[in-house]
C-alpha cells in the first residue's frame, strides 16, 4: 500500500547528500529507486547538496580533524531542522550511533565491497618495486599496506575520486586504492584497476553499501523507504557494524571487516585490527546463523581485544 501524501513536483521529498560525483550518484540511485517504486516523476524529489566539514578541509588527514562524523554532522543537522527529509550516506563513513531523533534502517543493495588497486604501471601491490610511493587517505589501507609491504612509502591522498586520480596522474604516487563500489557507480570501468581479494586486503566495514537516514517520527518516509530496503545488505551490515561498534571504531582506527551470506541462512564474518603503522595486526573470523550476526560481530571484537591486549588498543581509547 502506498503511503499517504506522496511527494509531488510542487511538494518534493528532499534528499540530502554530499556534493561529490560519487555522493550525487548514490543520491540519484536512491531517488530513482523511490520514483520507480511509487511510479513518481523525478521532479517529485529534490537533491539537496550539503557541504560537510570533511569536504571543506582536504589539506589534513582525517585523524587530525575528527572522526567519521566529519562527513555526516551538517547533513544530520539539516534533517533535524527539517531542511531535508532523507539523507543518503556511504555506510563506511557512518558512525555506529545516530543523533537523537534520527534512525538509519534502510540500505540499498550492496555493490562490490572490495578495494581496487589503481596504477598505470603495475597490476598489484606485489609488483611494486621496493620503496615505491603509495597514495591513500585511508588509515586502514595505510596500515594494511605497511603491514604487508613495510618497504613501501605511503603518502596522504585526500580528496574525492577525481582528485585522487589527478594526483596519481601527476606522479605524486605510483599507485592508490579506491573502492570498487565507487568506481562501478561512477561507471569508471576503463580505469586501470585490479580488484584486491579480501584475503589480501580486507575492506572497510560496510564498504560498498548505501544507507538512508530519516527522522524517526517520519512515518511517510519510513513507509516509502521500506519499499526499497535490501534485507541481505542489512543482515551483513548488522554483523559488521556490531563488530565496529564493539571496537569503538572511527576514521581514526585501522579496522576492517566483511560479512558474506552463504544462501542457506548462514553468515561468514571476517575482521581485522591493526596498529596505525602496520607493525602489528590481528585477524579472525566467525561463522553462524544470519540471525546471530550482531552477536557474532561483538564476540569477534572481544576476541581480538583479548588477543591483542590492552596496550595495543591504547591509541584508540578502547577500555
Q: What is the pLDDT of residues 128-163, one digit of tens each?
A: 999 999 999 899 999 999 999 999 999 998 777 788
User: Is 79 part of a structural domain of the chain?
Assistant: yes
- Angle between helical axes of 21-38 and 219-226 (0-180°, round to 10): 90
Residue 129, all three cell numbers = 618495486
Domain at 132, CATH number: 3.40.190.10
User: Is 5 part of a structural domain of the chain?
Assistant: no
Contact 128, 122 (CB under 8 A): yes
pLDDT of 318: 44
pLDDT of 234: 98
Strands 133-135 and 175-179: parallel
Q: Cα(18)–Cα(34) distance, rounded to whole angstroms?
A: 19
> C-alpha 248: how far from its chain's center?
16
Co-location of 162 and 183 in the same domain: yes
Co-location of 220 and 295 in the same domain: no
93 is an active site residue: yes
Co-location of 100 and 84 in the same domain: yes
Co-location of 242 and 225 in the same domain: no
Co-location of 29 and 100 in the same domain: yes
Mean model confidence pLDDT for the chain: 90
Residue-wise pLDDT for 250-300, tens only, equals: 556 799 999 999 988 899 999 999 999 999 999 999 999 999 999 999 999
Question: Secondary structure of the chain in the HEC alphabet?
Answer: CCCCCCCECCECEEEEECCCHHHHHHHHHHHHHHHHHHCCCHHHEEEEECCCHHHHCCCCCHHHHCCHHHHCHHHHHHHHCCCCCEEEEEHHHCCCCCCCCEEEEEECCCCCCCEEEECCCCCCHHHCCCCCEEECCCHHHHHHHHHHCCCCEEECCCCCHHHHHHHHHCCCCCEEEEEHHHHHHCCCCCCCEEEECCCCCCCCCCCCCEEEEEECCCHHHHHHHHCCCCHHHHHHHHHHHHHHHHCCCCCCCCEEEEEEECCCCEEEEEEEEECCCCCCEEEEEEEEEHHHHHHHHHHHHHHHHHHHCHHHHHHHCCC
Domain containing 104 equals 13-108+209-229
User: Is 56 part of a structural domain of the chain?
Assistant: yes
pLDDT exceeds 60 at position 316: no
Measuring CA to CA, which residue among 110, 106, 113 is closest to residue 37? 106
Strands 175-179 and 115-118: antiparallel
pTM, to two decimals: 0.90
Co-location of 70 and 131 in the same domain: no
pLDDT exceeds 90 at position 246: yes
Co-location of 136 and 97 in the same domain: no
pLDDT of 317: 45
pLDDT of 159: 75
pLDDT of 315: 52
Residue-wise pLDDT for 72-87, tens only, equals: 889 999 999 999 999 9
> Cell numbers 584508540 correspond to what residue?
316
- CA angle centred on 26, ends 174 and 198, rounded to 5°: 50
User: Is 3 part of a structural domain of the chain?
Assistant: no
Co-location of 17 and 102 in the same domain: yes
Sign of the alpha-carbon dihedral angle for 235, 238, 241, 243:
negative
pLDDT exceeds 90 at position 13: yes
User: Is 66 part of a structural domain of the chain?
Assistant: yes
Residues written for the chain: 319
Residue-wise pLDDT for 188-234, tens only, equals: 988 889 999 999 999 999 999 999 999 999 999 999 999 999 999 99
pLDDT of 1: 45
Q: Cα(290)–Cα(51) distance, rounded to whole angstroms?
A: 37
Co-location of 43 and 164 in the same domain: no
Co-location of 293 and 225 in the same domain: no
**Number of domains within the chain:** 3
**Active site residue: 5, 55, 85, 93, which one?**
93
Domain at 246, CATH number: 3.30.160.40
Co-location of 131 and 149 in the same domain: yes
User: Is 179 part of a structural domain of the chain?
Assistant: yes
10 Cβ contact list (under 8 Å, min separation 6): none
Report residue 319's pLDDT band, with 50, 70 and 90 as the boundaries.
very low
Co-location of 165 and 181 in the same domain: yes
Name the percent of the chain lying above pLDDT 90.
75
pLDDT exceeds 90 at position 102: yes
Amino acid at each position: 500500500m502506498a503511503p499517504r501524501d506522496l511527494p509531488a513536483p510542487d511538494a518534493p521529498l528532499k534528499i540530502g547528500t554530499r556534493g561529490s560525483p560519487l555522493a550525487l550518484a548514490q543520491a540519484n540511485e536512491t531517488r530513482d529507486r523511490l520514483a520507480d517504486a511509487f511510479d513518481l516523476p523525478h521532479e517529485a524529489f529534490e537533491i539537496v547538496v550539503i557541504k560537510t566539514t570533511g569536504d571543506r578541509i582536504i589539506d589534513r588527514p582525517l585523524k587530525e580533524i575528527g572522526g567519521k562524523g566529519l562527513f555526516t554532522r551538517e547533513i544530520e543537522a539539516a534533517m533535524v531542522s527539517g531542511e531535508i527529509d532523507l539523507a543518503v550516506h556511504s555506510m563506511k563513513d557512518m558512525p555506529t550511533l545516530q543523533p537523537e531523533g534520527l534512525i538509519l534502517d534502510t540500505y540499498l543493495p550492496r555493490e562490490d565491497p572490495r578495494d581496487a588497486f589503481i596504477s598505470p604501471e603495475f597490476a598489484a601491490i606485489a609488483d611494486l618495486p621496493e620503496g615505491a610511493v603509495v597514495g591513500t587517505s585511508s588509515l586502514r589501507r595505510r596500515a594494511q599496506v605497511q603491514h604487508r609491504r613495510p618497504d613501501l612509502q605511503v603518502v596522504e591522498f585526500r580528496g574525492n575520486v577525481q582528485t585522487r586520480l589527478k594526483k596519481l596522474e601527476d606522479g605524486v604516487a605510483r599507485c592508490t586504492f579506491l573502492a570498487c563500489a565507487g568506481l562501478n557507480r561512477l561507471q569508471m570501468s576503463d580505469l586501470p584497476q585490479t580488484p584486491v581479494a579480501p584475503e589480501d586486503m580486507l575492506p572497510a566495514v560496510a564498504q560498498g553499501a548505501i544507507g538512508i537516514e530519516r527522522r524517526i517520527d517520519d512515518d511517510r518516509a519510513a513507509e516509502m523507504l521500506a519499499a526499497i530496503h535490501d534485507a541481505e545488505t542489512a543482515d551483513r551490515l548488522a554483523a559488521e557494524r556490531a563488530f565496529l561498534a564493539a571496537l569503538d571504531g572511527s576514521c581514526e582506527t585501522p579496522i576492517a571487516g566483511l560479512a558474506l551470506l552463504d544462501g542457506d541462512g548462514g553468515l561468514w564474518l571476517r575482521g581485522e585490527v591493526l596498529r596505525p603503522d602496520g607493525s602489528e595486526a590481528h585477524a579472525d573470523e566467525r561463522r553462524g546463523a544470519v540471525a546471530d550476526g550482531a552477536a557474532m560481530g561483538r564476540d569477534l571484537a572481544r576476541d581480538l581485544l583479548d588477543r591483542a591486549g590492552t596496550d595495543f588498543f591504547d591509541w584508540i581509547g578502547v577500555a
